[in-house]
């Protein structure tokens, strides 16, 4: 029985892959990968390595999660080195925990290889530090998948009244509702928001606006995209370093 490496692929820029991830990919007998993992990474694999695509789009699985768990398990029965490659970090909205616990229940050994999450590196490539002395003392990474008008919410909206940075992943389709909700809890209509699409890649696009106008401004922006809300967005005026 083999070892499964639940591996972060980083956000897009292939050079943001960790050395450890690169090593296990080079040794892999099979790589099971998502849409958000940069496919160029697969070129590092040895000859004869198998590739299994279990694509995933904005939180919606093309292959259901239960099937993915089972695919990983079956491969671990057949192969010595199994890499499960996921965009960003496997434990940041990556369902890596569910996959690891499925393997734990079946006595399969696994390792977690953290990756650079898009939640922080997307803003960094857009010139937006997620914390900044005197501006934001903390940041939250929040699912934007849940509709903000849901009656019983998992999201503590009332805690978002401060100026700390909020990063929404999987939220582009709810951008209008998220902006409205934040104004409803008392944020100013001109409060800064950025939408970052395809962050850290050559196709990166950044749109900056306010809670009031960001929906209009980000209308045609492609996925994957994340939303950054907070005064730190204004620092981009000085810190944007990566081409738009």
Closest-by-Cβ residue to ligand SAH is 88
Of 82, 83, 92, 155, which lies in the binding site for ligand SAH, with binding defined by CB under 6 A?
92
| Nearest-angstrom CA–CA distance, 138 and 163 | 9
Nearer to ligand SAH, 2 or 11 (CB): 11
Nearer to ligand SAH, 224 or 230 (CB): 224
Question: Is residue 169 a contact point for ligand SAH (CB under 6 A)?
Answer: yes
Question: Is residue 211 a contact point for ligand SAH (CB under 6 A)?
Answer: no
Could you say which residues in the range 111-130 bind ligand SAH, by CB under 6 A?
A: 117-119, 122
Of 72, 81, 94, 124, which lies in the binding site for ligand SAH, with binding defined by CB under 6 A?
94
CA dihedral 120, 124, 125, 128 (to 10 degrees): 120
Omega within 30 of 0 (cis) for the link into 212: no
Which residue has 């070892």 as its token pair? Answer: 3
Question: Is residue 146 a contact point for ligand SAH (CB under 6 A)?
Answer: no
Give the CA distances from residue 103 to residues 69, 151, 154, 197, in Å, rounded to whole numbers and listed in that order: 8, 35, 27, 33
Of 21, 71, 142, 225, which lies in the binding site for ligand SAH, with binding defined by CB under 6 A?
225
| Beta-strand pair 205-210/192-197 | antiparallel
Is residue 44 annotated as a catalytic residue, yes or no? no
Give the CA distances from residue 77 to residues 21, 72, 130, 156, 214, in Å, rounded to whole numbers and listed in that order: 21, 9, 42, 42, 49
Question: Is residue 230 a contact point for ligand SAH (CB under 6 A)?
Answer: no
Residues in touch with ligand SAH (CB under 6 A): 11-12, 36, 58, 86-89, 92-94, 117-119, 122, 169-170, 196, 198-200, 224-226
* Positions marked catalytic: 34, 56, 170
């Amino acid at each position: 029985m083999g070892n499964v490496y639940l591996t972060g692929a980083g956000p897009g820029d292939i050079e943001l892959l960790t050395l450890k991830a690169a090593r296990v990919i080079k040794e892999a007998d099979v790589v099971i990968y998502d849409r958000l993992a940069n496919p160029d990474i697969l070129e590092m694999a040895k000859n004869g390595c198998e590739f299994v695509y279990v694509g995933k789009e904005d939180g919606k699985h093309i292959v259901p999660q239960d099937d993915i768990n089972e695919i990983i398990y079956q491969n671990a029965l057949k192969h010595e080195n199994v890499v499960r490659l996921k965009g960003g970090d496997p434990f940041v909205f990556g369902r890596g925990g569910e996959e690891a616990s499925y393997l734990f229940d079946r006595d399969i050994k696994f390792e977690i290889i953290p990756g650079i999450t898009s939640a922080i590196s997307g803003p960094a490539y857009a010139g937006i530090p997620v914390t900044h002395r005197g501006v934001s003392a903390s940041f939250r990474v929040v699912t934007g998948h849940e509709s903000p008008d849901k009656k019983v919410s998992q999201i503590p909206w009332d805690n978002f009244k401060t100026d700390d940075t909020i990063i929404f992943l999987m939220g582009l389709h709810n951008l209008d509702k998220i902006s409205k909700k934040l104004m409803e809890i008392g944020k100013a209509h001109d409060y800064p928001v950025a939408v970052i699409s395809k962050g850290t890649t050559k196709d990166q696009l950044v749109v900056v606006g306010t809670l009031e106008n960001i929906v209009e401004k980000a209308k045609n922006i492609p996925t994957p995209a994340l939303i950054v809300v907070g005064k730190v967005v204004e620092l981009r005026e000085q810190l944007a370093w990566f081409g738009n």
